[in-house]
Chain A
Amino acid sequence: MIATWFLVTLRTEARRVTAERGGLVVAVVFYVVVVAVLAGLWRVAAATNGGTIAGYSAVALTWYIATSEAAVVALNIRMIDDIGRAIGSGAVAVELLRPVPVLALRVAAELGRSLPRLAACVGTGVVVATVSGGAPPRPATLALAGPSLVLAVACNIVAQHAFAAIAFWIRDAGSAWFLYQKLVFIIGGMLIPLEALPGWLHALANALPFRAMAYAPARLASGHFEPRLLVEQAAWLGVLLVAAGAVFRAGERRLQVVGG
């Protein structure tokens, strides 16, 4: 039954986002601007450094940024804040009445909202990267980057729920999203390939789940044939699901709602 609810919720939210063309267009335009600026910066940097940075050519860097940005821009940027508000205000109590776990329903809804945006960004990103940087360095790796992007989005959504569940205890997760977002930006590899980080920070990033949310698909799209990244993402998704489920179950037990 959970699987049916999950799929129906996912499909409903995906249709809703697709119907709201304005929001989709804004997300894509924003994505194009970010990719144009950031990839442009990295290309200039590569050109002034003998053509490569940390083993990435200008073309590879363009595809890296186009992919890492797609994985992040596809999501609701303030998801943690929204979840925190629902928990803090007690609105989540209504969801507890349904015969499926709140976490499963919320993850399905967010995944449904994110996938159409991801598809739009990826379609646009391929064009932008090809026009501004050049053809993909190794087209075969794009076949791995596709599923990796979906896993990246799923990992990110589940992790944000685990983070936001702090609101069960402190009633506000408003600030947490800023911090979480910055972790994905730097040690998740969204702004900068992890290989370009100093050794100690690279080692730290390798030990944390954030690299599954941006670095993994970007590394694949930039021409590196490393299927183990998909396995790593799937493993992190499992760990994050267990963690988020445990935190939500513990939080739901202590939820107190006054009035309605």
Chain B
Amino acid sequence: MRGLLATMGNAFAEARANRAALGSQMAVMVLNDVVWVVFWVLFFRRVGSVGGWDARRILLLLAVLTTAGGITLGLLANARRIGTMAVEGELDAVLTLPVAPLPYLLLRRVEPTNLGDLLFGVCLFVLSGRPTLGRTAVFVGVVLASATLITGFLVLTGSLAFFLGRSEGGDLGFHAIVLLGSYPVDVFAGVAKVLLYSVVPAAFVSTVPATLIDSFDAGRAAALAAVAGAFGLAGWATFTAGLRRYTSGSLWTRA
């Protein structure tokens, strides 16, 4: 555990080393997120509401998504690189260390750009999420569940590269979960809706958490926790199984 904490400390120190770059990269991502807010505001200004979703609710959804995405892609930045590292044989150095490989990999790198997402998400919730003590507590809980789910899903899809020999599946998983998570699932119907609650669990990444903040329901919260836990475990299991098939690339990298 001490080793992992030291790893995380190093990752932060690295990110902080170039303060100007850290600030500008975070600012760019905040600006990027603001554009999405602009799009949704323009959209709902034109159409009113869709499937029970209006501008206020969609901003809450964005707050959850960007905060959870910021945690995964900012603080656990290697989550989206598992597939590439597996295929290109970049895990040699990690396997020699006296720590569990997956937690080490996840904590090894901080991505300053996505820390902007984290900052933006929290600010958006404070500004538009009508924060009370109760709503803030639910926000924190659902964001952590959502971040666990995104991380588990990215590790799972990335680890498929150990078996398939290609990393495109991980890239696709990343784009799919982020893209689909940024839309309210209630506007979809039929098979698409079923898929968004199962194969690509985007519904549990943002729609369900945002709904829980507005109207908390114990059953739905338990379902969110269960799905997040299941994907977390599935990611861990797939990575562990995949490591047995890992082939060294004779590359000594810092992962």
> Contact at B47–A23, with CB atoms within 8 Å?
no
B6 lies within 8 A of chain A by Cβ: no
Complex interface: chain A residues within 8 A of B171 (CB)? 26
A249 lies within 8 A of chain B by Cβ: no
Give A201's nearest chain B residue, CB to CB. B42
In the complex, which range does the number of interface residues on chain A fall in?
20 to 34
What's the Cα separation between A196 and B35 when bound, in Å?
Answer: 16
From B35, B49, B166, contact of A185 by CB (8 A): B35
Complex interface: chain A residues within 8 A of B175 (CB)? 30, 33
Q: Please provide the chain B residues from 132 to 167 with a CB less than 8 Å away from any CB of chain A in the complex.
A: 166
Q: Which of A35-43, A151-159, A225-233 contacts B (4 or more CB under 8 A)?
A: A35-43
Main SS at interface, chain B: helix
Total residue contacts A-B, CB cutoff 8 A: 74
Q: Please provide the chain B residues from 192 to 229 with a CB less than 8 Å away from any CB of chain A in the complex.
A: 192
Q: Please provide the chain B residues from 5 to 35 with a CB less than 8 Å away from any CB of chain A in the complex.
A: 24-25, 28-29, 31-32, 35
Q: Please provide the chain B residues from 82 to 138 with a CB less than 8 Å away from any CB of chain A in the complex.
A: none
A29 and B48 in contact (CB under 8 A), knowing A178-B32, A186-B38?
no
Main SS at interface, chain A: helix
> Contact at B50–A44, with CB atoms within 8 Å?
yes
Q: Please provide the chain A residues from 11 to 52 with a CB less than 8 Å away from any CB of chain B in the complex.
A: 22-23, 25-26, 29-30, 33-34, 36-37, 40-41, 44-45, 48-49
From B25, B32, B179, contact of A34 by CB (8 A): B179
Give A25's nearest chain B residue, CB to CB. B168
> Contact at A178–B29, with CB atoms within 8 Å?
yes
Q: Which of B60-68, B73-81, B180-188 contacts A (4 or more CB under 8 A)?
A: B180-188
Give B45's nearest chain A residue, CB to CB. A198
What's the Cα separation between A197 and B38 when bound, in Å?
Answer: 11
A191 lies within 8 A of chain B by Cβ: yes
B251 lies within 8 A of chain A by Cβ: no
Interface of A toward B, CB cutoff 8 Å: 22-23, 25-26, 29-30, 33-34, 36-37, 40-41, 44-45, 48-49, 53-54, 174-175, 178-179, 182, 185-186, 191-192, 196-198, 201
3 closest residue pairs by CB, A with B: A182-B35, A45-B47, A175-B28
Interface of B toward A, CB cutoff 8 Å: 24-25, 28-29, 31-32, 35, 38-39, 42-43, 45-51, 166, 168, 171-172, 175-176, 179-180, 183, 187-188, 192
